[in-house]
Structure 1
Amino acid sequence: MPIEFGTWVIGACCTVFGIVATFAVMKYRIDRNEKETTKTDSEISKRLETHGLKIDEHSEDIRELIVKIQMAPTMDRVRAEFVTKEFFNQHKEHVDRQFNTLNKHIDAMGKQINADMGDIKSLLRERV
């Protein structure tokens, strides 16, 4: 009977040793995975932080561009101002031409009046 008892004990010991070894290997792998996962997580978080900062910079640039676009004049406003300025320039040229023509006519009238005054003076001298 001691042979059976020894075989049974050896089998039980092998089973217990196998279970303990399995748990030891599983714990080792879990610990190793946790270390790798922690390292990977820290690398990923650094990358995400870097990308987050880049995204923040890009979003600030986009906000600045949106503000610039909103501040920029629209084509309708540019056309309206151009038309207004062009109309003003044309009107100014028209008024200048009218004043030049008016000055010419006033000068001509002044010359005519002076000539007529000279004629009137000569007629008055003849009568006196």
Structure 2
Amino acid sequence: MKTLTAQNFSVIASFAFLLITLPASSSAASQGATLNNKADVDHIALAQYYKNQVDEMQVKIEEQIEALSHKPRTSFFGRNGRNIKKHVEYKIHQYEIAIEENLKKATYHQQVAAEQSLNPASASLTQSGNTRS
């Protein structure tokens, strides 16, 4: 009886989650379609945003290392101690992956911003929708 109730609850919860997220994902897709045009996006601001994300991740890594170094030695004994160390190492690894991704995104947006600044006439033409024939 318990497993049937748990299965029903999980199915209902999954269905409710789907209903809640469906409108959000469709509106995000429509907003993403308007931002796909390179001229509509402020690439300098996006590059700065990703650089700020990198800085935040580096601070989080430093916090994790500092927290690990200030743990009392007795807390590292036993199974829980190994789990704590592995969890902190995992979090640091995830932060490093996020830093790499954000750096790639920042360099991409810097390159696009540089291209737009070198050729502002084509950017203004694409914004107004006029093209030369």
Report the TM range for the smaller structure's normalisation. Answer: 0.3 to 0.5
Larger radius of gyration: 1
Higher relative contact order (CA 8 A, sep 6+): 2
TM-score (norm 1): 0.34
